[in-house]
Amino acid sequence: MRLIRSLVVSVVVAGALVVPASAGLGPSVHGGGSADDMTRFGVGISGGTGHFECLMPAVMTVQAAVTGVDWANSTSARFHGVAAVNLAANNPFLLPAGPMARGATFFAIVTPGGPGSASVDLEILGMSFKGQVEHGQITIEP
C-alpha cells in the first residue's frame, strides 16, 4: 500500500512539473515531497487552478481539486477547493476505513523552498494539519 501511495504522489508531482509556463494567467504553485509528520503531498496549480493531494499514513488521504488561489507571493500561497477524504485502516478517529467525505471544502497555505524551509498547512473538516517539508520542494510563481 505504501508503494502505491508513493507512486501516486510521484505521478501527481511529475504531472505538475510538466505543465507549460504558458498554461494560463494567474499564480502557480508546484511541488511535492514529504513532511516531518510522514505526510506525503503533491501540488500542481497553474493559472490559479489545479490539484492537491495529501497522504497521511494511518490517518487519511485527501484528493482535491483546487478551484482558486486566495493569494500568492514570494513568501506564501493560500489556495482552496473541494476534496475527497478517505480514512486509513486503524485511523485515530476509530472510524471505519474508506470514504469519509466527498466535496469537503479545504484550504491550504504553503511556503516555498526545500527541506527545512518549506511548509504545508492543510485545514479540512475542522481539522488542522501542519508540516515542515523534510524531502522535496515547493515553488510559487505569483
Q: pLDDT tens for residues 39-71?
A: 999 999 999 999 999 999 999 999 999 999 999
> For residue 81, which amino acid is it?
G
pTM passes above 0.85? no
Domain containing 99 equals 2-141
Q: In the predicted model, is pLDDT for residue 14 greater than 60?
A: no
- The closest of 46, 38, 45, 50 to 6, measured between CA atoms, is 38
Are the beta carbons of 48 and 24 closer than 8 angstroms?
Answer: yes
Are the beta carbons of 122 and 106 closer than 8 angstroms?
Answer: yes
- The closest of 12, 31, 28 to 133, measured between CA atoms, is 31
Q: In the predicted model, is pLDDT for residue 136 greater than 60?
A: yes
Provide the domain count of the chain. Answer: 1
